[in-house]
Amino acid sequence: MDVDIYDFELPERLIAQTPLPERAASRLLTLNKETGEIRHHHFSDIVDYLQPGDTLVLNNTKVLPARLFGVKEDTGAKAEVLLLKNLEGDKWEALVKPGKKLKKGSIIVFGDELKATIEEEGEMGGRVLSFSYKGIFNEILDRLGQMPLPPYIKEQLEDRNRYQTVYAKHEGSAAAPTAGLHFTEELLDAIKAKGVTIAFVTLHVGLGTFRPMSVDKVEDHVMHEEYYILPQETADLLNETKARGGRVIAVGTTSARTLETVAGKCDGGKLVKSSGWTGIFIYPGYTFKLVDALITNFHLPKSTLVMLVSALAGRERIMKAYQEAIQEEYRFFSFGDAMFIY
C-alpha cells in the first residue's frame, strides 16, 4: 500500500500555531463510520453523542518539561536536548541539536547543576545521554526544562499547563496526548452525569511523534515503541462495558493504541491489567478488537495517525471528512479542532 494515497493538500494556515484561549472552545466534526454522515458542532456538544453505558478512555500521561538548552562544555557552543525516553537510571534517549556537532563523548552543561554525556549516537539526531547532577532530577528538570511543543510552534506558552490535559497524572511523555486537551473538568462532570464511565490508561508519548514516515510502502514502516499501562481497574470497567453492550470510546490515538495492544494480548478473552512496550501500527486492513469510537484531532498528511483513523472509518470516508474540514477551515494538529468517529 503506497504511503502517497494518504497525501492531501493542507494549507499551512490551518496548522494551529497557538492553543484556543479556552478548552472545549474548539470545533467538532462528527463522522459516522457506517453511513459516512458528517456534521459540524462545538466540542462541548460531544456530550450529545455519548450514551449511558459507554466508557470514555483517557490517557493520563503527563508531559515532561523535556526541552533543555545548554552549551558544549569544551567550546561553549549552544546545544539543545529533547528528552524522549528514560532507559534506566540516569540514561535517556533524546534528540539533540546540532546533531553533527554533538558526537559520542561530548558533554553538555545546563547551568551549574546538570550535565549530560553523550554515550551513543543514533539516526536523525537521536542520542543516548547519561546525566549527572546534584539534587533530584525531576525537580531540576522542572526548573530548567521547557515544554516540548511541536516544532511548528515557535513561541513558548505563557502557561505551560495549557499543554497538559486536566487529568494528567503520570509524568513521562515527550508530547501531549492532544485529543485530551479539549476537555475541561466541567465537561467531564457533565459526561459522568449522563451515565458515561470514565476510565484511564497511560501511554508515554515518545520518539515516533517527531518522526515522519520515510518509506514508500505503508507496510514497511516500523513504529517506535512507547511504554503503556492499563490498570486492573480499567480492565474491569472495560469488561463490564462490553458485557452490557456499551461502547468503548478512546480519547486520542494513544488511548486507542494502548487498548488495542492489550486486547491483542488477551486474544479475545477478558481484559486483565497489562504494562510494557508497544509498537503497534494500525492501518487499513486492521480489525479493531476493543475500540468502538474515537475522539481525535486532525492529523498531518501521510502520517501514521491518518492511517489509524482510516483503519477505523475507511480511507475514503476519512479523506472526504478531511477535505470538508479543510473547506470549513478547521484547525489541524496538536492545538487544532477535534473529530469524533463513531
| Pick from 331, 248, 337: nearest CA to 11 | 331
CATH dotted code for 3-63+160-341: 3.40.1780.10
Where does the pLDDT of residue 84 fall: very low under 50, low under 70, confident under 90, or very high at 90 and above? confident
Q: How far apart are CA 96 and CA 68, in angstroms?
A: 10
More confident residue, 294 or 225: 294
- Percent of the chain predicted with pLDDT > 70: 98
Burial status of residue 13 (CB atoms within 10 A of its CB: 0-12, 13-18, 19 or more): exposed
- Per-residue confidence (pLDDT) for residue 204, from 0 to 100: 95
Domain boundaries, given as residue ranges, for the chain: 3-63+160-341, 67-144
Q: How far apart are CA 291 and CA 54, in angstroms?
A: 11
3-state secondary structure of 176: coil
Q: How far apart are CA 221 and CA 213, in angstroms?
A: 7
Task: Spell out the SS3 assignment of 6-31.
Answer: HCCCCCHHHECCCCCCCCCCCEEEEE
The contacts of residue 308 (CB under 8 Å, 6+ apart) are: 253, 256, 257, 282, 283
Around Cβ 67, how many Cβ atoms within 10 Å?
18
Rounded (10°) CA dihedral 304, 300, 318, 246? 60
Q: What is the pLDDT of residues 95-124, one digit of tens each?
A: 999 988 899 999 999 999 999 999 998 876
**CATH 2.40.10.240 matches 67-144:** yes
Q: For all residues of the chain together, what is the average pLDDT? A: 93
Q: How far apart are CA 247 and CA 262, in angstroms?
A: 17
Lowest mean pLDDT among 13-22, 174-183, 211-220: 211-220
Q: Is the pLDDT of residue 210 over 70?
A: no
Decide if 3-63+160-341 and 67-144 have a common fold.
no
- Per-residue confidence (pLDDT) for residue 209, from 0 to 100: 62
Q: Is the pLDDT of residue 23 over 60?
A: yes
DSSP string, 75-111: T--EEEEEEEEEEETTEEEEEEESTTT--TT-EEEET
Q: Is the pLDDT of residue 222 over 90?
A: no
Q: What is the pLDDT of residues 273-295, one digit of tens each?
A: 999 999 999 999 999 999 999 99
Q: How far apart are CA 38 and CA 44, in angstroms?
A: 17
3-state secondary structure of 330: coil
What does pTM read for this prediction? Answer: 0.90
Where does the pLDDT of residue 167 fall: very low under 50, low under 70, confident under 90, or very high at 90 and above? very high
Lowest mean pLDDT among 39-48, 116-125, 332-341: 116-125
- Per-residue confidence (pLDDT) for residue 21, from 0 to 100: 84
Average pLDDT value for residue range 34-61? 97
The CA–CA distances, whole Å, from 152 to 149, 158, 208, 303 equal 8, 17, 17, 16
| Pick from 108, 109, 86: nearest CA to 207 | 86
Q: What is the pLDDT of residues 150-161, one digit of tens each?
A: 777 877 788 889
Where does the pLDDT of residue 17 fall: very low under 50, low under 70, confident under 90, or very high at 90 and above? confident
- Per-residue confidence (pLDDT) for residue 211, from 0 to 100: 64
The C-alpha cell at 69 is: 538548552
Element (DSSP H or E) covering residue 341:
strand 338-341
Q: What is the CA radius of gyration of the chain?
A: 20
CA 26 from centroid of its chain's CA atoms: 18
Instruction: Note whether 82 and 66 are within 8 A (CB).
Output: yes
Q: Edge-to-edge strands of the sheet including 338-341?
A: 38-42, 27-31, 338-341, 293-297, 248-251, 55-59, 197-203, 226-230, 274-278
The contacts of residue 119 (CB under 8 Å, 6+ apart) are: 91, 104, 127, 128, 129, 130
- Measure CA of the first residue to CA of the last residue in the chain; give whole Å: 25
181, amino acid identity: L
